[in-house]
Structure 1
């Protein structure tokens, strides 16, 4: 279980969305990213200023991890039961799309496996796009595990891939009669001040320093709920667990939002999602909780739903509990408000149902398409 509040951003070096990084400054005490030695990230002026006036964004050199990570990755790739499910068919190894990958991220064993271009470059390899993308997800997981970091991303595609690797491909789209656990998405919505991007890097750091206790207490209350849900095996006590943690979340969120007023917030946006294993009888019981309980959770912005994947019978809760909080998806607006955007019609009777169904759809799309 992670005791710190540090995260590793993936799958890219550069932060793709400045708004995401400003939000991450509220959520995490430290944000790391994978940066090969000697490489200078192509950051915007604002992001460079944020890095210069604080120490919460730090690089991790991947070179020391590439050799150990490649062994697990190649074992995964060579397992036909796992590899088929995430666009790893042999034919895809030879497609015409290539991207650059820094040599420090790739061990020599992987270089022999992939088709490389740019052979005259000393720093960069031309790597098959499918293999490179999946390897980066795997490498991020290795680095996070060895340094007790949680993972966070703004890419649902990367989030799906990382979950697939985390649970060694032993997930499926629907529950069988003898399954013991289900992968469930726990989301918390309306947590990011909508005006945060308007404050300067120096103002952001000042706000971080002044709001540390409130932020920590609020997000710890959510983490405690996740732990309790993952540890519970008896559907008869789930209502008591929810009642206990609702009170804690309500009190901590009140103080958190009171502190957010320091930056003149007019509203809140965004969703942060973590996937946790929950006993199937427990998740079935959550589906039928009383309306008053549902209303309390909705008012707190907390949603609990199936992420569309189940363990096989040999995967127990106890075995996976220590890993359940390692991969966060932080999304900000459009897909949260309108989960149906660009997708088949989904059940969106409330924000969490629609969003959980969207994640279900995307995870299954990753596995089977």
Structure 2
């Protein structure tokens, strides 16, 4: 059974195109939302919440156990961390203005809700100058300019590394697969323990940091599925409504489950690929694996379906019993409309039904058939264009 996903690092999903794609595979997507937090979701997020696909989990129950390991890492690398990632350094890097001359809320900081920090760890971060508590909310927000003490500001890079560790811990404890729409964080998720976070920050490397995080069941799946869906998702994904995504999930439930089982069968290899330490080599390895297991079978299936699609109509043409219905000819390039008898129309209608059934059967038999179904449903052709293409095929004998 496919594990749910866990979105990070934000509460509100920043890229709803990414969310639409993720919903084409994962059964549900959780996000870390403190109890009582006011959410302001976009249309896609709201629709998926209503459909119980986008869900919430309170982070407080999972972060307490992170205290000891992170506190030790902070002490070991305090000098490097403060030099590179202090709040003062973040603000200075932003616009060269000294820390004391800036207000409490500037875009130079990454803001994380206090519920995602163990209490002692937060005190340590503040004492070291790595965190700032209190955020001035913008006038257009529901809080209208109030300073919110529950928000903690960190250097953006440090905030990203910290949320990678949080996502990994919650995923490990709750059985979720961490996912992000932020490209710069994806490389650290698979090995998202403290050591990996320190490597993301460019510090660490001693024996104490070298402990390997336990592998999650879903390691590598996000990269693999994202690359696979790139072959079939429409270019105008902004124009695809969340309702269309929901219909895809419902109508193609059996095909989606078959595709998930196909991906699950590759879990060991995907985990191995995800563990490659160098970004470029890891992506190249994933690309090659997707080529062999997705792209090649997709092209083979498409070729088979293209040939099979015309087989019944060829038979009709060879038998001399085919006359194009008026409804079809009307969509062609000024081809004269030929009158048809009820008997011939019934024969052609039967041929179309047989082709449709055969194509669906062929797709269901293929582990990648789901991807073609997604493509066809999310990039619908008009009735006229389908009929025109079909009739051209008849004339050309293709």
TM-score class, shorter-chain normalisation, is 0.5 to 0.7
67-76 or 6-15: which moved more? 67-76
The answer to whether residue 65 in structure 2 is matched with residue 65 in structure 1 is: no
Greater relative contact order (Cα < 8 A, sep 6+): 1
Shift of residue 41, structure 1, vs aligned partner = 2.4
Aligned twin of 2:35: 37
Match of 2:243 among 195, 202, 208: 202
Shift of residue 76, structure 1, vs aligned partner = 3.7
When normalised by structure 2's length, the TM-score is 0.51
Aligned twin of 2:52: 55
* SS of structure 2 residue aligned to 1:131: helix
Q: Is the 8 A contact 1:218 1:249 kept in 2?
A: no
Matches within 5 A, 1:132-281: 132-166=159-193, 168-169=195-196, 187-188=227-228, 189-228=230-269, 246=293, 251-258=366-373, 260-265=375-380
Question: Are the structure 2 counterparts of residues 117 and 146 from structure 1 closer, same or farther at C-alpha, using a change threshold of 3 Å?
Answer: closer
The answer to whether residue 13 in structure 2 is matched with residue 15 in structure 1 is: yes
Q: Is the 8 A contact 1:7 1:152 kept in 2?
A: yes
Shift of residue 259, structure 1, vs aligned partner = 5.1
Shift of residue 229, structure 1, vs aligned partner = 6.5
More strand by share: 1
* Unaligned 5+ runs, structure 2: 92-107, 127-131, 136-146, 201-218, 274-288, 299-365, 382-398
Q: Is the 8 A contact 2:133 2:151 kept in 1?
A: no
Shift of residue 255, structure 1, vs aligned partner = 4.4
Shift of residue 74, structure 1, vs aligned partner = 2.7
The answer to whether residue 85 in structure 2 is matched with residue 92 in structure 1 is: yes
More helix by share: 2
95-104 or 4-13: which moved more? 95-104
When normalised by structure 1's length, the TM-score is 0.55
Tell me which structure has the larger Cα radius of gyration.
2
What CA distance in whole angstroms lies between the structure 1 residues aligned with 2:194 and 2:267? Answer: 17
Question: Are the structure 2 counterparts of residues 91 and 253 from structure 1 closer, same or farther at C-alpha, using a change threshold of 3 Å?
Answer: closer
Q: Is the 8 A contact 2:112 2:152 kept in 1?
A: yes
* Unaligned 5+ runs, structure 1: 173-182, 233-241, 267-369
What CA distance in whole angstroms lies between the structure 2 residues aligned with 1:105 and 1:58? Answer: 17
